[in-house]
Structure 1
Amino acid sequence: MNVSDLLSYCMDKPGAEQVVHNDWKATQIKVDDVLFAMVHEVDDRPAVTLKSTPALADLLREKHSDVVPAAHLNKTHWSTVLLDGSLKDSQIYYLIDASLQQALATRTA
């Protein structure tokens, strides 16, 4: 997956907005001012940071070396996925959708 495809998929979500976070050199994707994805680079590799349940975060990190704890966000809930790694596009799309649902659920909780 490339960054352009990822951003297009994220921006197709109703109400999605992009915000550049200069300190982190990242593009944040938000819905209703709630962060659900952050696109950036890790060691010159394209990556996206996504929110999940702690159980899913642990499982992903155990099974995939291309999924690591997020550098700038709560490591219990946020994981960074390398886009040029072993995860299939369909898996990344699923994780984006799950991140959006998790982020919005947190807002209403």
Structure 2
Amino acid sequence: MKYEWTDSYCLSKPGAEKDYKLEWDATRYMIRGKMFAMQGGDREGKPILTIKLEPFFGAFLCGRYKDIVPGYYMNKEHWVSLYLDGDVPDETVREMLDQAYRLVLESFSKKIQKEICS
């Protein structure tokens, strides 16, 4: 499996936390309970990382990379799934995770954003 660095990268973000959801057999990355990424598997058990993105960026990536597909078991407009055995450049995956984190962080009030980032 590639992208072993994603766990530490997600957790390096201010206020990021993770848990394991047994019912989904997936590790979730969240800010105060709001998920920005999730690592699990598809129906065949292939490892995937599902990431929240702006719809236009997600659609662009799905069209560009065969290893990025609309979010598995998620809202297909706002989430994409990255196959962890794929060939998407690390820098693109970092950009995806940065955007996901930022989208969730910006959903909080300015006061809470300040608390999280301080």
Amino acid at match of 2:36: F
Q: Is the CA contact 2:36–2:104 (under 8 Å) kept in the aligned structure 1?
A: yes
Tell me which moved more, 98-107 or 8-17. 98-107
Rounded to whole Å, the distance in 2 between the matches of 1:4 and 1:58 is: 25
**2:94 equivalent to 1:93:** yes
TM-score (norm 2): 0.82
Query: Which residue pairs with 1:36 in the alignment?
Result: 36
Rounded to whole Å, the distance in 2 between the matches of 1:21 and 1:71 is: 16
**2:78 equivalent to 1:77:** yes
Rounded to whole Å, the distance in 2 between the matches of 1:90 and 1:4 is: 14
Rounded to whole Å, the distance in 2 between the matches of 1:107 and 1:69 is: 25
Q: Secondary structure at the match of 2:97?
A: helix
Q: Is the CA contact 1:3–1:46 (under 8 Å) kept in the aligned structure 2?
A: no
How many residue pairs end up in the alignment? 109
More strand by share: 1
Rounded to whole Å, the distance in 2 between the matches of 1:5 and 1:41 is: 17
Runs of 5+ in structure 1 lacking a partner?
A: none
Shift of 1:20: 1.0
Q: Is the CA contact 1:34–1:107 (under 8 Å) kept in the aligned structure 2?
A: no
Amino acid at match of 1:7: D
Mapping 1:12-91, distance limit 5 Å: 12-42=12-42, 43-91=44-92
Runs of 5+ in structure 2 lacking a partner?
A: 110-118
Q: Secondary structure at the match of 1:44?
A: coil
TM-score (norm 1): 0.88
Rounded to whole Å, the distance in 2 between the matches of 1:33 and 1:98 is: 17
Shift of 1:3: 5.4
